Amino acid sequence: MLLFARNDKSLFTPEFCLLMGVAFLAFCNISLFYGLNDYLKARGIPSLWRGVLLGLEPCTALVLRPLISPFLTVRNGVAGVAVALLLLMVALCSYAAADSIRALALVRIAHGLGFVLLVSSVTTLLVAYLPPGRTGQGFGIFAIAGLLPYAVLPPVVERLLPLAGSEPRVYALFAPALLLGLPVLPYLRRRVRLLDRDGLAPCRRPTLADIRADLRSPGVARLLVANGLVFTATTVVFFFMKDRLTVLDMRNEGLFFSVSTAATVGVRVFCGRLLDRIDRFVMLLAMLLALAAVFVLFSLAGSGVALLVLAGAYGICLGFAVPQLNAAMFEISPPPLRGFNTNLMLFTMDAGYVFGPVLAGGLLAAGTSTAHLFAWFAPCLLLAGFLAGGLRRR
């Protein structure tokens, strides 16, 4: 089954572009933390506690997203963005003052609250502006907005660290950049009122019966599990690849993330229309199986150059797989539940960000080397591929 869906309705509306800008700011404040594990290690925090602290921010999102998602609608999404931006600025400035594990835990919880509210609100607004037949491309661009910070900020942070003196000071330096998201909100608020007035977007909250019926759908459940498994594995790369590169004497560890993100962005820029023309589930199966192979090769690679080559393959696989997971969920969801289900996909992403670091921290504490760590997570990607790819038969 090939998908050759076409739709001439413009994807790049002002509303869509502004939401992409806000999403970019949201993920900037996450990509700053690629070196948090090393900072905690330098402070003498044991590996198990480091894993807990790394997972605490996404754990907050994991707990709160299913609680707030049923209450987020197109009507109140802009207000949610405003509150979240202010909360994130406070959290970024608070890392420098956190002088104990307990204080760091509180800051990570506040950071998670701001992030989950921001991304959930943006997602709820986004699905109202995605035209039919352009969902794969739309989610691909949304993912680009979330990935560009991972290409840009790690090398910049590496340059700023000697000047700032510590990672928390770098986080505080970035906080004022979130102010850039506030001036666009009045315009978005006016546009949302027009959607609501003309009945062009579902603005009512889903009922409990709607949610129960939705979660009983096998396609929804399979995609949610597959998405969670993908992010469980990829989160380990984000938090622990720097250790692997350091052992291999890579001078600028941030370059790995630049290469992988450039590959992902390249796929979504130059192959964006393919995401809506090729069978989503066949592509998901192929890309996730290839990604599992890349994880095994991460553990076998013997040089920094080899890991940079693998970074490109890693980025290409993610470039195709992640937007297809979201587009598949969008298409199998009834319109009133599209925003809710897309936020559930983010919920499983949060679960991956929790379980990935905690499992990795436990494996390291049990004696697993950083080199062998990535191969342990390859089965997650194999299972995700079979779960998502199997939906083609349905």
State the angle between helix axes of 338-365 and 304-332 in degrees (0 to 180), rounded to the nearest 10: 150
Burial of 249 (0-12, 13-18, 19+ CB in 10 A): exposed
Contact yes or no for 345/388 (Cβ under 8 A): no
Q: How far apart are alpha carbons 321 and 311 in whole angstroms?
A: 15
The single-letter code of the amino acid at 105 is A
Q: Is 312 among the domain residues?
A: yes
Q: Is 9 among the domain residues?
A: no
Domain count, the chain: 1
Q: Is 5 among the domain residues?
A: no
CA-CA distances (angstroms) from residue 181 to 38, 188, 303? 30, 11, 41
Closest CA to 386 of 282, 275, 246: 282
The single-letter code of the amino acid at 70 is P
- Return per-residue pLDDT of the chain as tens, 394 residues: 333 233 446 778 888 889 888 888 888 888 888 778 888 888 888 877 887 888 788 778 778 888 888 888 777 888 889 999 999 999 999 988 888 888 889 999 999 899 889 988 888 888 778 777 777 778 878 878 877 787 788 788 888 888 887 888 888 888 888 888 888 889 888 887 777 665 555 556 666 777 777 777 778 888 999 999 999 999 888 888 888 887 777 666 678 888 888 888 888 778 767 777 778 888 899 999 999 999 999 988 878 788 889 999 999 999 889 888 988 888 887 777 777 888 888 888 878 877 888 888 888 888 888 888 899 999 999 999 998 887 765 5
Task: For residue 344, give its domain range.
Answer: 14-393
The single-letter code of the amino acid at 392 is R
pLDDT reported for residue 5:
35
Q: Is 37 among the domain residues?
A: yes
Q: Is 4 among the domain residues?
A: no
Residues in the chain: 394
Q: Is 2 among the domain residues?
A: no
Q: How far apart are alpha carbons 373 and 240 in whole angstroms?
A: 9
pLDDT reported for residue 361:
84
Q: How far apart are alpha carbons 286 and 274 in whole angstroms?
A: 15
The CATH number for 286's domain is: 1.20.1250.20
Q: Is 6 among the domain residues?
A: no
Burial of 186 (0-12, 13-18, 19+ CB in 10 A): exposed
Q: Is 77 among the domain residues?
A: yes
Structure tokens at 366: 């049990």
pTM, to two decimals: 0.70
Query: What is the phi-psi region of residue 367: left when phi exceeds 0, alpha when psi lies from -120 to 50, beta otherwise?
Result: left
Contact yes or no for 318/291 (Cβ under 8 A): yes
